[in-house]
Amino acid sequence: MISINNLSFAFKKGEPLFSDLNWSLEPGKTYGLLGLNGAGKTSLFNIISGMLFPKDGECTFEGEPVRSRSPQFLSELFIVPEQFELPSMTGDKYVELHAPFYPRFDEELLNKALSELEVNSKKKISELSFGQQKKFLLSFALATNTKLLLLDEPTNGMDIPSKSHFRKLQASLDQPNRCTVISTHQVRDLGSMLDHVTILKDGKIIFNRSLDQIFEHLSFIKTESEDSGVYIYAEEILGGLHTIQSHKDEVRNDFDLELLFNGVIQQPDQINQQFNGGN
């Protein structure tokens, strides 16, 4: 679906942000795009959506360069940015004006999402709180049924019950033709929604694995003692350690996306070796 090949990008008079970047995204999957502040997650979203142009290489959607921003490509893309400003109109009016751009827009799904997230579409969007605006925009995004959905920090500004409702709503959808990419720091909020984990650091993808691959090669084990055997990475928890170790069938796998992220950032070579038969 999305193919990024040998892509390089730099802002004017700046150091290169990406150099020879390669990444492929497939339909029917939800990707988590993780990285430290400044890693380039938002810029990569803007490149994928055709709003920034690479210096070298290319990004294509179903074989078509995204930089062309053709009407067909735009009708298959919806992006929810971290920061946004919605117009001074009711939610119903917004839907009336914008839904026609998306040929598979599902009004029934929209109403379901608005109901579950407790958003009143009769009110002016601009008069809603930021959290309510975010929930309205996410509801609209899900209802577009685009093949590509980009969500930049989707749960920022939402209260705890709303985050839970959003996770359940997303999990309930059967959208085999949609590719969803979530860029977030809120790994504890959204880890359960992901099929694939991609981690950026210093303009490079340093980790890119499906959850099936992660569970096949790594074990996340909580121990009550620092004498926990051989581990790749560990963090102190109440009463012991939470460790990343080579896969072990016989123990409970206490998967923690935040632990994985921290481990990859600090020990990328050691963790990636586990997927290449190394120890």
Q: How confident is the model over 195-224, as pLDDT tens digits?
A: 999 999 988 999 999 999 999 999 999 888
pLDDT at 279 over 80: no
- Report the CATH number of the 2-202 domain: 3.40.50.300
Q: What b/e readout covers 104-134, taking b as 16+ CB neighbours within 10 angstroms? A: ebbeebbebbbebbebebeeebeebeebbbb
Q: What distance in Å separates the CA atoms of residue 268 and residue 180, rounded to the nearest whole number?
A: 25
Q: Could you give the 3-state DSSP secondary structure of residue 83?
A: coil
Report d(CA 268, CA 201) in Å as an integer: 10
| Beta-sheet pairing, 56-61 with 64-65 | antiparallel
> Which tens digits make up the pLDDT trace of 137-173?
999 999 999 999 999 999 998 999 999 999 999 988 8
Where, residue-wise, is CATH 3.40.50.300 in the chain? 2-202
Side-by-side strand order, sheet with 218-223: 218-223, 240-246, 233-237
